[in-house]
Structure 1
Amino acid sequence: MEPTVRTHPTRRLPTALVLTAALLATGCSEQSDDGREPAATESSGTPHGYVEGAREAAEEQSRLILGDPGTGASRVLDLVTGKVHESAPVTGADGLSTDGRFGFFHTDRGTHVVDGGAWTVDHGDHVHYYRAAIRHVGDLPGGRGAEIRSDAAVTAATDPEGRTTLYDRTALEKGEVGPARTLDGVHAGAVVPYEEHLVALAGDDESAEVAVYDRSGRRVASPAAACERPAGDAVTRRGVVLGCADGALLVSAEDGTFTAERIPYGQDVPEKERATAFRHRAGSDTLTAPAGERAVWVLDVTDRDWTRVRTTGPVLAANTAGEGSPLLVLESDGALHGYDIATGRHTARTEPLLSKTAKTPAGAAAPVVEVDRSRAYVNDRTGKRVYEIDYNDALRVARSFDLDIAPGLMAETGR
């Protein structure tokens, strides 16, 4: 399926970058229109990092998984080739999350798993990028509202009552759900796989304590840290961040020993202005979260520092690439705004990206801002379009993709 891709004015690129882009496009052009990848040839050998059924690439292979909550239609937009792949419908989905490879559509029947066919393996001193076939894996049983968290070995699904089911992620990679087992007890918020363990909050929605389990479910550590009214979590290179009433807890591991460090706001924050849902670029240690109607929290995990950035209008979504990049805020005027995090200064603004009629229906998912190493993506549900933004070039609209579905749900894979 070929979308209408609108390329917007750009600055001239250095010759080396143009040649690199051409080589990448050539290497990826062998993928078939249905998202299948050709098998490796004998001449390619078995290089370091080889994954059966996948092709290794020189650069990140970003794809967007898209869903239309109204019709149930789903698509996968390959951001390298610009092609849109039609995938099986997922009816009743009102939410979509990802672990960097799999998309998790949340429905009242459970969680439907789609393999986006693009992922990154970070070995610390080097990184591997892969692309493979796009396919529907199956359903994780349960009702609506499950929190899904993964690492390379396990996927943890925590239901709204705090019960957690563990799935073998290698089975998902083979295209099947596989056997499952239930973690004992109930927990507040999501159970997060981290450093070959499971990080959880044992308690209820008012007060909980950090608990660390091994993969068999045995409690192996209890860092002395409590979290009042827990909400929100994120995995960073520095550890697992857990949102609490007074700020956040950072749970980290060194030489097998787990510790929990408090990162307070440093001020009294009204309940409606607390950070309760984090977004960030994969691999970044800078987190964002709404801070009430007209502000955004930025948490620098490295410096253990919170910054509250005031916005010009009501916030619909926010994100940042971190590491000196601007804070990106999609506001109620339909435009994407850029802010300098250190000073709070408003630095850039796009023309309105969301259609004027793009009022999110009650209970429907709000638009999102997805961020990778060089671009940001904004989904326009009513306009049936996705925008690609160069956030390092004054928020220039680099490309826009016209679609045949209303992409009310969007998540980026390949990271």
Structure 2
Amino acid sequence: MSPRAPALALMGLIVPIGLACSAPGQDTAARRDEPATEEDHGKVAGAAELSEPAYGLTTVDPSGVVRHLDLVEGAETGIADLGPATKVQTDGRFLFVDVAGGVDVVDSGVWTWDHVDHFHYYRAEPREVGRLTGAGPSNVATTTSSTSGGTGVFFPETGEAVLLDTAALADGGLSERYRLEVPPHEGLLVPVGEHALLTEPGPDGTPDRVVALDPEGERLPGAAHRCERASGTITTRVGAVVGCADGALLATSDGDRLKVERIPYPAGRLAPRATSFAGRDGRPTVAALAGRDRIWLLDTRQRAWRLLDAPVALRQVTAVDDDDEHVLGLTVDGRVAVIDGVTGDLLSTTPPLAAASLGSGVGEPVLVVDQQRAYLSAPAERRLHEIDFRDGARVARTFPTPTTPLFTAGTGR
């Protein structure tokens, strides 16, 4: 499998944990920087290999200052000053920051390399990589690798679709594999191995299909797939998901072959459709809201949906996809709710941690999960919280921030 580590994000912001991992975010955790046991296996030039993941929270404040909080050492480091930002998206290593004139790419300097049966963890110098020119807000789609493959950037106002070379980003530069133009619409360019899926609009200006592209950006013969009102994408361990009005498309790549499957909603469903997805990085099951009072769970390995009644009204939801099938949600009053992913029962909640943020509209709190802990940003409160969801939603640590963490990304994933 290609290297990397997902997903929040930000909204997809989410963590793979392997059998050889230590649990992140322990209250008294200490990093061990010894070399990995397999000599030079997965070695990356200019990066130090770590014996455990270097998870962090990378934030952007209203003036565009980027800071990185090391969740193991508790230290905060400044990375860049980009100017006012309007949106941040992430793949678990890089931040893609909407600014005037395009998208600034920032390397958090921490990432995980997924070898399926084990993982390697790396740390390098964080840096601002460069600016991708474009007009208006962007939609970014990533893969499970932050060192290879492509990263898709779509500018809805102009209909420009750009596939960035992710290996070039890892080397500190911007390189466009191709830049295409389609009619402006709220679209997506979703990388799938060496291929990609590109949305196209119908007569009403909303996306109604995706077309498959080869590594050069050329359309593959006969490779258009119906996907009315396409919205939301995430890449799981199985493949790339694109949400459609009647379910989802799942795209997988095996070398030079691209396969696209349809996963329809259950017959007779009466719940609102999923429009965005979130889950722990490297896991097959992801979650989406079905309105405020229900939850969709999509198992990409089983190609199946499941609908849960939410025990409380929710603003966000994400799947941990662990042995206990935990689902975590941000409630409408700013609590983190721990939910049983089988029964939908409410297991525990935190106190209100982001009520002021939700009430004031100062940024949108971001919920990030890994196998052991959850992290919630509270922009108006100027706090970042670590939550032990296995221990009664205990707030394990709280980190004050020097400025408003308007946008937050989980990194090191």
Give the equivalent residue in structure 1 for 2:209. 209
The correspondence of residues 267-346 of structure 1 with structure 2, limited to 5 A, is 267=267, 273-323=272-322, 324-346=324-346
1:65 and 2:58 aligned: yes
251-260 or 317-326, which deviates more: 251-260
The correspondence of residues 332-371 of structure 1 with structure 2, limited to 5 A, is 332-356=332-356, 358-361=358-361, 365-371=363-369
Alpha-carbon offset, residue 24 of structure 1: 7.7
Alpha-carbon offset, residue 260 of structure 1: 2.4
1:155 and 2:154 aligned: no
The correspondence of residues 79-94 of structure 1 with structure 2, limited to 5 A, is 79-94=71-86
Q: Compute the TM-score of the two structures, normalised by the length of structure 2.
A: 0.83
The correspondence of residues 366-377 of structure 1 with structure 2, limited to 5 A, is 366-377=364-375
Alpha-carbon offset, residue 379 of structure 1: 0.4
The correspondence of residues 127-146 of structure 1 with structure 2, limited to 5 A, is 127-146=119-138
Alpha-carbon offset, residue 341 of structure 1: 1.4
Distance 1:208 1:347, change over 3 A: same
Distance 1:353 1:115, change over 3 A: same
Match of 2:44 among 27, 43, 51: 51
214-223 or 287-296, which deviates more: 214-223
The answer to whether the 8 A contact 1:210-1:222 is kept is no
The answer to whether the 8 A contact 1:318-1:328 is kept is yes
Match of 1:27 among 16, 24, 32: 32
Distance 1:387 1:259, change over 3 A: same
- Consecutive unaligned residues of structure 1, counting only runs of 5 or more, are 1-15, 31-39
1:166 and 2:158 aligned: no
Give the equivalent residue in structure 1 for 2:380. 382
Distance 1:162 1:267, change over 3 A: farther
The answer to whether the 8 A contact 1:318-1:368 is kept is no
Task: Give 3-state SS (helix, strand or coil) of 1:25's partner.
Answer: coil
Alpha-carbon offset, residue 402 of structure 1: 1.1
Task: Give 3-state SS (helix, strand or coil) of 2:169's partner.
Answer: helix
Question: What's the CA shift string for 1:351-375, capped at 9, x where partnerless?
Answer: 11125465242xx642111112321
Distance 1:402 1:335, change over 3 A: same
Distance 1:268 1:26, change over 3 A: closer
Task: Give 3-state SS (helix, strand or coil) of 1:170's partner.
Answer: helix
The answer to whether the 8 A contact 1:307-1:341 is kept is no
Alpha-carbon offset, residue 173 of structure 1: 1.9
Alpha-carbon offset, residue 189 of structure 1: 2.5
Alpha-carbon offset, residue 267 of structure 1: 4.3
Q: Which amino acid aligns with 2:375?
A: Y
Q: Distance in 2 between matches of 1:263 and 1:50?
A: 38
Q: Which amino acid aligns with 1:78?
A: D
The count of corresponding residues between Structure 1 and Structure 2 is 382
Q: Compute the TM-score of the two structures, normalised by the length of structure 1.
A: 0.83
Q: Distance in 1 between matches of 2:317 and 2:407?
A: 15
Question: What's the CA shift string for 1:60-108, capped at 9, x where partnerless?
Answer: 2212111122x33321111121111123223221211111210111223
CA RMSD across the alignment: 3.0
Give the equivalent residue in structure 2 for 1:5. none
Task: Give 3-state SS (helix, strand or coil) of 2:32's partner.
Answer: helix
The answer to whether the 8 A contact 2:357-2:378 is kept is no
Task: Give 3-state SS (helix, strand or coil) of 2:208's partner.
Answer: strand
Identity %: 36
The answer to whether the 8 A contact 2:357-2:379 is kept is no
Give the equivalent residue in structure 1 for 2:402. 404
Alpha-carbon offset, residue 223 of structure 1: 4.7
Alpha-carbon offset, residue 258 of structure 1: 2.7
Q: Which amino acid aligns with 1:354?
A: A
Match of 2:68 among 60, 73, 76: 76
The answer to whether the 8 A contact 1:279-1:287 is kept is yes
Q: Distance in 1 between matches of 2:177 and 2:194?
A: 17
Distance 1:410 1:222, change over 3 A: farther
- Consecutive unaligned residues of structure 2, counting only runs of 5 or more, are 1-20
Q: Distance in 2 between matches of 1:140 and 1:292?
A: 34
Give the equivalent residue in structure 2 for 1:3. none
The answer to whether the 8 A contact 1:24-1:58 is kept is no
Q: Distance in 1 between matches of 2:295 and 2:31?
A: 41
Task: Give 3-state SS (helix, strand or coil) of 1:276's partner.
Answer: coil
Give the equivalent residue in structure 2 for 1:240. 240
Task: Give 3-state SS (helix, strand or coil) of 1:171's partner.
Answer: helix
Task: Give 3-state SS (helix, strand or coil) of 1:299's partner.
Answer: strand
Alpha-carbon offset, residue 400 of structure 1: 1.2
Alpha-carbon offset, residue 388 of structure 1: 0.8
Structure whose alpha-carbon radius of gyration is higher: 1
